[in-house]
Amino acid sequence: MSFDFDLLVLGAGSGGVAASRRAAAHGARVAVVEGSRVGGTCVIRGCVPKKLLMYAAQYGDALREAPGYGWLVGETRFEMARWAASKAAETQRLEGVYRKLLAGSGVELIEGWARVVGPHRAVVGERTLSAQHLLIATGASPVLDSIPGIEHCATSDGLLDLSALPERAAVVGGGYIATEFASMLARLGVEVSQFYRDRLPLRGFDEDLRRRAAAALQAAGIALHPGAAPVGVHTDGPGLALELADGSRLAFPFVLNATGRRPNTHGLGLETLGLTLGAKGAVPVDGACRTPAPGVYAIGDATDRKNLTPVAIAEGRALADSLFGSTPRAVDLSLVASAVFLLPPIATVGPTEAEALAAGHALNVFEADFRPMRQTFFGGAERSYMKLLVDAASDRVLAVHMLGADAPEIVQSLAVALNCGATKAQFDRTIAVHPTVAEEFVLMREPARRALPSQA
Ligand code: NDP
């Protein structure tokens, strides 16, 4: 049977583009279908614009700190409209880069929304396409039904497109997006209240980071409302009112819904392939991104596993190598570093202390908690926290956790050492780069405490 393409990719986000280009590099005939902007969530409405807004917030910090370093600073203010114009230009530039990369790789870009109509076949507008392999890389989008009325709230997509910031805002949720945006908004001068249902933000992260993240959010002036997820959201004049479990209503001119994301699989026609989707709409896959339907694969947020851009990219490339290269391979997701860009940021690789103990490790826990030189010089209060979890039996460093300036940059490098199986003795043998914050990770001599595995 002959097909129009060897590989048809649904979704030109980071994962889909990476898979398409790698497959084309192996000589495959590839098309990628995209109904929205090329580049997907990360480039257009996620990681990239979010980080650009974080940089804007950091400039505010720098301006406030500058007098302590001898600078005389005049009147300053943040104008969201200026940032928004620069952001729009930058995302457009990046979209152009992605389009060029696809074209330069020989991948056909088909613009429109695809619907699968049976094995090996999909329809885009008037066009029916056939392909030997089908890759679902359609990503995810904000959940709009987590709480009655939550659909009235803005999502991070809308927030990043604002031309003016509100004076007050509520953030609903305690995860990555909620915490990052609460932190950035507060630094940009918005009076922020954050509502989440657990006792601390960032469920799933190490407890020591979660406590310090909450303290950092409070230090930025954010009113935290733990254990207080709204039970309803109501329109209230030009703004919104959050209804809490005790019946009280709190009015805000702006509310950010950051209660999670859900795979973009609805209406794709995946039922014609006999696929049963997960509860949130996730496409079921094995460790090699194969679905139970022959010739059908899925990567990235559409599978709702580790919803991180670099994971989707790695999965896409591994799949393309497996299908069209000479050595099939899967991606090892056991030690994936990640960061939460609140200010100061969190970065982490490896299990939490609770997870390591539950897995049966006796631990030597090394910690450092200090005000870095940059803060002490101008009298700032911001601290850095660093933690190593070391398996007491093997001396292997199991995890690195950090909250503090530059944590993502530092932990990215240490993730290499952990993936190489580094021991604490090897950390100790490493000569420090001085004066840095990172050097603390090779200067921790005595464990702060020892911890024994939890009893099953
Ligand atoms: P998260 O899963 O991180 O957080 C969702 C939040 O919504 C949690 O606090 C959750 O509470 C809360 N929530 C869910 N349902 C309800 C409900 N019915 N009522 C009240 N609260 C609710 O999702 P995000 O949308 O923040 O981010 C999506 C994913 O995108 C992340 O998991 C991450 O993988 C990725 N991402 C990564 C970033 C990075 O790498 N820096 C940045 C942004 C996103 P609870 O904890 O109680 O369940």
Contact by Cβ (8 Å): 20, 63? no
- Is the pLDDT confidence value at 456 over 70? no
DSSP for 239-253 reads EEEEEPTTS-EEEES
Residues 359-386 have a mean pLDDT of 98
CB burial of 393-414 (b: ≥16 within 10 Å; e: otherwise) equals: eeebbbbbbbbbbbbbebbeeb
- Exposed, middle or buried: residue 431 (CB in 10 Å: 0-12, 13-18, 19+)? exposed
Is residue 173 within 6 Å of ligand 1 at its C-beta? yes
Ligand 1 mean position, distance from CA 142 (Å): 9
| Fold: same for 5-141+262-324 and 344-455 | no
Q: What is the pLDDT of residue 243?
A: 98
Q: What is the pLDDT of residue 236?
A: 87
Q: What does each C-alpha distance from 413 to 147, 418, 428, 429 come to in angstroms?
A: 39, 9, 16, 17
Is residue 94 within 6 Å of ligand 1 at its C-beta? no
Closest listed residue to residue 383, CA positions, set 392, 391, 374: 374
Is residue 147 within 6 Å of ligand 1 at its C-beta? yes
Classify domain 5-141+262-324 at the CATH topology level: FAD/NAD(P)-binding domain (3.50.50)
Q: What is the pLDDT of residue 454?
A: 77
Question: At 113, phi and psi to the nearest 5?
Answer: -95, 130
Ligand 1 mean position, distance from CA 178 (Å): 7
Classify domain 150-259 at the CATH topology level: FAD/NAD(P)-binding domain (3.50.50)
Ligand 1 mean position, distance from CA 348 (Å): 17
CATH 3.30.390.30 matches 344-455? yes
- Is the pLDDT confidence value at 152 over 70? yes
- Is the pLDDT confidence value at 1 over 90? no
- Is the pLDDT confidence value at 455 over 90? no
Q: At which residue do the structure tokens 């795979």 appear?
A: 263
* Number of other CB atoms surrounding residue 146 within 10 Å: 17
Is residue 146 within 6 Å of ligand 1 at its C-beta? yes
- Is the pLDDT confidence value at 184 over 70? yes
For this structure, is 434 an active site residue? yes
Is residue 186 within 6 Å of ligand 1 at its C-beta? no
Nearest-angstrom CA–CA distance, 363 and 188: 40
- Is the pLDDT confidence value at 277 over 70? yes
Q: Are strands 5-10 and 30-34 parallel, antiparallel or unpaired?
A: parallel
Q: Hey, where are the domains in the chain?
A: 5-141+262-324, 150-259, 344-455
Q: What six digits make up the tokens of 59?
A: 């400039």
Pocket probe for ligand 1: among 50, 155, 197, the residue whose CB has the most ligand atoms within 8 Å is 197
Q: Which atom of ligand 1 is nearest to the CA of 174?
A: 9
pLDDT tens string 193-241: 999 999 999 999 999 999 999 999 999 999 999 999 999 999 989 999 9
Q: What six digits make up the tokens of 419?
A: 């993936």
Ligand 1 mean position, distance from CA 168 (Å): 22
Q: What does each C-alpha distance from 349 to 135, 388, 416 come to in angstroms?
A: 29, 10, 10
Share of the chain above pLDDT 90, in %: 98
Rounded to two decimals, the pTM is: 0.97
Sign of CA dihedral 350, 213, 53, 50: positive
Q: What is the pLDDT of residue 298?
A: 98
Nearest-angstrom CA–CA distance, 98 and 88: 15
The SS3 assignment for 450 reads strand
Residues 31-52 have a mean pLDDT of 97
Is residue 141 within 6 Å of ligand 1 at its C-beta? no
pLDDT tens string 329-356: 999 999 999 999 999 999 999 999 999 9
Residues 99-111 have a mean pLDDT of 98
pLDDT tens string 405-446: 999 999 999 999 999 999 999 999 999 999 999 999 999 999
Nearest residue (by CA) to ligand 1, atom 14, is: 259
Residues 367-379 have a mean pLDDT of 98
Out of 26, 152, 361, 434, the active site residue is 434
Is residue 51 within 6 Å of ligand 1 at its C-beta? no
Residues 351-362 have a mean pLDDT of 98
- Is the pLDDT confidence value at 55 over 80? yes
